[in-house]
C-alpha cells in the first residue's frame, strides 16, 4: 500500500528489537524525509505487527492489534505501538509513545551536553531510551537513573575510609607472617614482636625517618637509650634488643636493606635474681582460700591444685583440654612454648579436685551454642585465658593474706619444693619444660636447707 506506513520486525534472540520504518505518502515528503530507522531498546515478545494507517480508527482493517489496557492515542500525531511497557511492578504501566514526525538523518542515542540533567524525565533520559524528545519517556521508568557524563564513563567515586597506613606497617606485617608461618613462633612471641616494632616505628616517625630503608645503627641505639630514660627494666630492654636483631636480619634477607643495621647490637646482661617462692604452709593457705559459697568454687580449687601439682604456666593451664588430661593414668599432656609437648604427672589432690569440677560444675557452665574441649571454663561457658588464671590466683592470694603472688609463683614453688625433697635437677628440667638446664639451675640457689645438707654430707670439714 503506497499510502500506508510499513512496520518491520527483527527478532534476534530472546531480547528482540522492534524497528519502525516510515514512508511518506506524498512525493515531496518522500524526498525530504527518507526512510529512518528508530531503534527501540525495549524487549518485546515474538508477535506479529500489522500495518498502521495514520489516523485510522481503532479496530479498522489495517490497524495494529494492541492490548486492551493500552488503547491507541486519539491524537493523529502519535502512532500506537503494541510494545509492552517496562515491567516495574511498583509503578503503573503506560504505553510507549513514538512521535510520528522523525527528523531526517541518523538518530543519536546520546543527548547533547546541554540536555543532560541526569534523572528520569529529562531529555538525557529520553535520549538514552532511543527518542529525541522528553515526552517519549515511559511512566514506568523509576526516577533514580544515574547521571552519565558526556564521555559515557561514570565519574570516579572518591575513596573514603582510614588514611593510608604507616610506611613501616607493611614490613612489620610481613615479618610477623614470616615468624608465624616459617618459624612457628607462639602467639605471645608474635604479640611481643609486634608491640616492640610498632613502638620503634612510632619513635622513628617522631624523628621524621621516612621508612625502614633509613634505619641505622645510631638510630637504634638512640631508641634503646630512650627506652632506658623511660624507666624500663633491663629485662624489657633486652627483649626490645632481641626483637630488633631478628627484624634486622629479616630486612636484610628480604633485600630491603643492604646491610643489617642491628648486626653490631649486643644483648644486655640481666641480673640473676632469685625467684619468689612460697613455703609449704603458705601453699596450704592459698589452696584453702576458695570458699564454698563462691559460684566458681570447684573450678578455682581445680585451677590452683593443677597449677601447683604440675608446675604449669598460666597459658599452658588455660589451653589444657579434656583429651589432654588422662585421669586414669594421672598425667596431663601439656603444650608449652614453641608448641613443645610434654607429659606432666598430676598428684591425687589435684585429680580429685578436677573430678569434682568435671562432674558437678563444668556441665552447668558448658553452653550448647559454645561447644569446647577446654577443661576450665568461665561463667559464660567460654574457655578461660591466661589473664583469668592470673586474676583467680591474685584474688585468692589476697584472701589468704599473701602479697605479690602470681601464677608463676606457684611454678617456682613447684620446682623449689621438688629440689628440696631430693629430686634430680635433670628431672625437674623435664617437668618444667626448660630447653636449657641453666634456666633450671636457678632453683638450686633458692633452698638454703638443701645447700646446707649438701655441705654437711659431702664437705670434709662440715
Catalytic residues: 313, 337, 408, 411, 434, 443
> Please, is 304 exposed, middle or buried when counting C-beta atoms within 10 Å of its C-beta (0-12, 13-18, 19+)?
buried
How far CA 457 is from CA of 245, 445, 454, in Å, comes to 47, 17, 5
Residues 17, 19, 24: CA angle, nearest 5 degrees? 175
Which value, to the nearest 10 degrees, does the dihedral of the CA atoms of residues 133, 135, 136, 139 take? 150
The torsion angles phi and psi of 177, rounded to 5 degrees, stand at -65, -40
Judging by DSSP bridges, how do beta strands 6-10 and 16-21 pair with one another? antiparallel
What angle do the packed helices 169-178 and 234-253 form, to 10 degrees?
90
Sorted by sequence, the CB contacts under 8 Å of residue 307 that are 6+ apart come out as 314, 317, 389, 393, 407, 410, 411
Distance CA 119, CA 128 (A): 11
Closest by CA to 377, choosing from 315, 319, 290, 308, is 319
Distance CA 462, CA 460 (A): 6
Distance CA 249, CA 2 (A): 91
Contact 96, 42 (CB under 8 A): yes
Unique residue bearing C-alpha cell 495514520: 54
How far CA 379 is from CA of 341, 354, 367, in Å, comes to 29, 17, 10
Q: How far apart are the first and last CA of the chain?
A: 138
Amino acid at each position: 500500500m503506497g499510502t500506508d506506513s510499513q512496520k518491520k520486525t527483527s527478532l534476534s534472540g530472546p531480547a528482540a528489537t522492534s524497528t519502525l520504518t516510515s514512508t511518506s505518502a506524498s512525493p515531496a515528503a518522500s524526498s525530504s524525509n527518507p526512510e529512518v530507522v528508530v531503534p527501540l531498546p525495549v524487549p518485546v515478545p515474538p508477535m506479529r505487527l500489522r500495518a498502521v494507517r495514520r489516523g485510522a480508527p481503532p479496530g479498522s482493517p489495517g490497524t495494529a492489534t494492541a492490548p486492551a489496557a493500552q488503547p491507541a492515542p486519539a491524537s493523529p500525531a502519535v502512532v500506537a505501538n503494541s510494545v509492552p511497557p517496562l515491567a516495574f511492578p511498583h509503578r503503573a504501566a503506560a504505553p510507549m509513545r513514538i512521535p510520528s514526525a522523525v527528523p531526517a538523518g541518523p538518530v543519536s542515542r546520546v543527548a547533547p551536553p546541554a540536555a543532560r540533567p541526569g534523572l528520569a524525565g529529562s531529555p538525557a533520559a529520553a535520549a538514552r531510551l532511543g527518542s529525541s524528545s522528553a515526552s517519549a519517556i515511559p511512566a514506568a521508568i523509576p526516577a533514580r537513573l544515574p547521571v552519565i557524563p558526556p564521555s559515557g564513563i561514570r565519574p570516579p567515586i572518591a575513596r573514603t575510609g582510614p588514611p593510608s597506613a604507616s610506611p613501616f606497617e607493611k614490613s612489620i606485617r610481613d615479618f610477623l607472617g614470616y615468624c608465624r608461618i616459617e618459624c612457628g613462633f607462639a602467639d605471645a612471641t608474635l604479640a611481643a614482636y609486634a608491640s616492640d616494632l610498632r613502638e620503634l616505628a612510632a619513635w622513628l616517625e617522631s624523628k621524621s625517618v621516612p621508612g625502614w630503608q633509613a634505619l641505622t645503627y645510631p638510630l637504634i641505639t638512640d631508641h634503646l637509650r630512650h627506652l632506658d630514660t623511660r624507666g624500663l627494666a633491663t629485662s624489657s630492654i633486652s627483649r626490645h634488643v632481641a626483637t630488633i636483631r631478628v627484624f634486622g636480619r629479616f630486612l636484610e634477607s628480604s633485600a630491603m636493606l643492604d646491610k643489617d643495621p642491628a648486626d653490631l647490637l649486643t644483648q644486655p646482661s640481666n641480673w640473676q635474681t632469685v625467684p619468689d617462692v612460697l613455703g609449704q604452709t603458705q601453699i596450704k593457705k592459698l589452696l584453702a582460700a576458695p570458699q564454698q559459697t563462691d559460684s566458681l568454687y570447684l573450678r578455682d580449687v581445680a585451677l590452683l591444685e593443677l597449677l601447683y601439682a604440675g608446675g604449669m604456666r598460666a597459658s599452658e593451664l588455660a589451653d589444657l583440654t579434656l583429651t589432654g588430661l588422662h585421669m586414669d593414668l594421672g598425667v596431663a599432656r601439656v603444650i608449652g612454648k614453641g608448641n613443645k609437648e610434654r607429659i606432666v604427672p598430676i598428684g591425687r589432690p589435684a585429680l580429685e579436685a578436677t573430678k569434682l569440677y568435671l562432674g558437678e560444675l563444668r556441665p552447668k557452665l558448658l553452653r550448647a551454642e559454645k561447644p569446647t574441649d577446654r577443661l576450665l571454663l568461665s561463667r559464660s561457658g567460654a574457655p578461660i585465658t591466661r589473664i583469668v588464671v592470673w586474676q583467680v590466683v591474685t584474688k585468692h592470694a589476697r584472701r589468704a593474706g599473701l602479697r605479690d603472688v602470681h601464677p608463676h609463683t606457684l611454678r617456682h614453688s613447684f620446682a623449689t619444693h621438688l629440689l628440696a625433697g631430693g629430686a634430680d635437677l635433670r628431672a625437674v628440667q623435664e617437668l618444667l619444660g626448660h630447653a636449657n638446664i641453666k634456666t633450671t639451675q636457678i632453683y638450686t640457689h633458692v633452698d638454703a636447707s638443701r645447700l646446707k645438707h649438701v655441705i654437711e654430707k659431702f664437705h670434709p670439714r662440715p
